[in-house]
Chains A and B, each alone.
Chain A
Amino acid sequence: MQAFEKLGVNPVAISVDSPSESQDLCRKAGYTYTFLSDPTTEVIRRYDLLHKGAGVKGHDIARPAEFLIDSSGTIRWINLTDDLRVRARPDQMLQAASALASQ
């Protein structure tokens, strides 16, 4: 995570979890970056990432996805996995972030 900070890139995690649930997760796992809560899936739908009924008890949740956005608000890199098991690896994200930071 410090590697991202050094590059000037803020990691931000977004899910349907409530702020207190995310806070618990941060405390347990030691995460220090920003966690945002989208319980109504409004933003998740705005990014077309809604996975209908995929959560426990059939809740709608976000599918995994990563977006790298530059300081002007333009998207520079996207990772949309086609398999739940295969997520973006930290080194892939770092590479994209350092490409952005070096410009």
Chain B
Amino acid sequence: MPDTLRENTNAPEPAPPQSGTRRRPNASLWIGFLLSVFAFLSYIPIFAKYPITRDMPWANFLIFALGLVFLFLGLRRAFRQPTVYRGKIAGPILTTISVAALVFFCFTIFSLGKHLPLSTQAPRVGQRAPEFALADTNGGITSLASLLSTPAASHPTKGVLLVFYRGYW
């Protein structure tokens, strides 16, 4: 690596003479901010698809943590070397938005999904499953009794797995 390039990467830089007009952009702040935004938005389209990152969203928290580290470094740079780096105004704003995103993310993840009915009267293991007969997608009516006696493909029926789901309403 030529010496001139190496010099450029060395911190801290001497303050440029016209301070305030030619300060360096504070990339760390923006990287941190973008990481936080990605951590916030990526849960549903990406990480919620896989049980390992869905049940406990550690991947998102890791990205949030990384984002906050970058923001912290960017803020420190902006306030310790204000003549070299920009970001004294943008830094606190971006950090506030990122922290707010993290708080809102925690709230939605740990609170919203838990408002479920208790289902204390739901049938228990060992009890008989309540009988039912409901419309199927073939225009007929299917009962639990018929499901229990219909062979699954070519295999003898051992049981039925009922999956109640929210549906698309």
By CB atoms of chain A within 10 A, which of B119, B134, B162, B164 has the most? B164
A-B CB pair tally, cutoff 8 Å: 215
- Contact in complex: A47, B122 (CB < 8 Å): yes
Interface readout for B144-169 with A: 1 if CB under 8 Å, 0 if not?
A: 11011111110111111111111111
**CA of A25 to CA of B132, assembled, Å:** 22
10 tightest A-B CB contacts, nearest first = A15-B167, A8-B158, A84-B113, A48-B121, A55-B169, A36-B134, A17-B167, A43-B132, A67-B162, A48-B122
Q: Which of A9, A13, A63 contacts B152 (CB 8 A)?
A: A9
- Contact in complex: A8, B144 (CB < 8 Å): no
**CA of A97 to CA of B162, assembled, Å:** 12
- Contact in complex: B155, A69 (CB < 8 Å): no
Residues of B within 8 A of A83 (CB): 113-114, 116
Q: How many residues of B contact A (CB 8 A)?
A: 54
- Contact in complex: A13, B166 (CB < 8 Å): no
- Determine whether B12 belongs to the interface, using a CB cutoff of 8 Å to chain A: no
Q: Is chain A's binding surface mostly helix, strand, loop or mixed?
A: mixed
Q: A15-B164, A37-B136, A66-B163 are in contact. List 12 more A-B contacts (CB 8 A).
A: A10-B152, A12-B161, A14-B134, A43-B132, A47-B164, A51-B116, A62-B167, A63-B164, A67-B129, A70-B158, A75-B124, A84-B112
By CB atoms of chain A within 10 A, which of B51, B139, B142, B167 has the most? B167
- Determine whether B24 belongs to the interface, using a CB cutoff of 8 Å to chain A: no
Given A23-B137, A68-B159, A80-B119, A8 contacting B129 (CB threshold 8 A): no
